[in-house]
């Protein structure tokens, strides 16, 4: 399950941030990821729960925000959200161009917010 390794690295970052600020209790954390990162929110939630159990991070609230996939056509600059199945080769709904679109959102994976005390 690739969410396990993602949760592990997110928790490492959280621990470092908490150390830096001398915090000992994690209250909540917000994770933002794009559709192309192949993360299943429920699995990430589960991984987070398993990995924080019996640690000082146990009981923290995990907020998850999933960003849609959006692209901009390289020819006519129309912005659109292709279906995931053919995401990278989706034709532009305006002009039909299939290749070279710019990915605007969809690959993100970051911690937006860490609340600790
Ligand atoms: Zn186009």
Domains in the chain (CATH in brackets) are 2-67+107-116 (3.30.2320.50), 70-102 (no CATH)
Q: What is the pLDDT of residues 72-94, one digit of tens each?
A: 999 999 999 987 766 777 899 99
Distance in Å, CA 35 to ligand 1 centroid: 22
Q: What's the pTM value of the predicted model, to 2 decimals?
A: 0.84
Tell me what pLDDT residue 87 has. 72
Q: What is the pLDDT of residues 95-109, one digit of tens each?
A: 999 988 999 999 999
- Please say if the pLDDT value at position 1 is more than 70: no
Between strands 102-105 and 70-72, the pairing is antiparallel
Distance in Å, CA 91 to ligand 1 centroid: 8
Distance in Å, CA 54 to ligand 1 centroid: 52
Distance in Å, CA 105 to ligand 1 centroid: 17
Which DSSP string corresponds to the chain? -HHHHHHHHHHHHHHHHHHHTT---EEEEEEEEEGGG---HHHHHHHHHHHHTTSTTTT-EEEEEEEPPEEE-TTT--EE---GGGGGGPPPTTT---S-PEEEES--EEEEEEEE-
Distance in Å, CA 83 to ligand 1 centroid: 16
Tell me what pLDDT residue 89 has. 79
What integer best gives the mean pLDDT of the chain?
A: 93
Distance in Å, CA 80 to ligand 1 centroid: 9
């Amino acid at each position: 399950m690739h969410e396990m390794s993602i949760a592990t690295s997110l928790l490492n970052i959280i621990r470092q941030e908490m150390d830096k600020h001398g915090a000992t209790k994690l209250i909540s954390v917000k994770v933002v990821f794009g559709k192309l990162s192949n993360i299943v929110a429920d699995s990430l939630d589960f991984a987070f729960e398993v990995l924080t159990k019996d640690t000082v991070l146990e009981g923290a609230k995990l907020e998850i925000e999933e960003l849609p996939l959006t692209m901009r056509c390289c020819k006519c600059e129309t912005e659109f959200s292709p279906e995931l199945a053919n995401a990278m080769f989706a034709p532009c709904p305006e002009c039909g161009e299939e290749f070279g679109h710019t990915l605007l959102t969809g690959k993100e994976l970051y911690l937006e917010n860490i609340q600790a005390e």
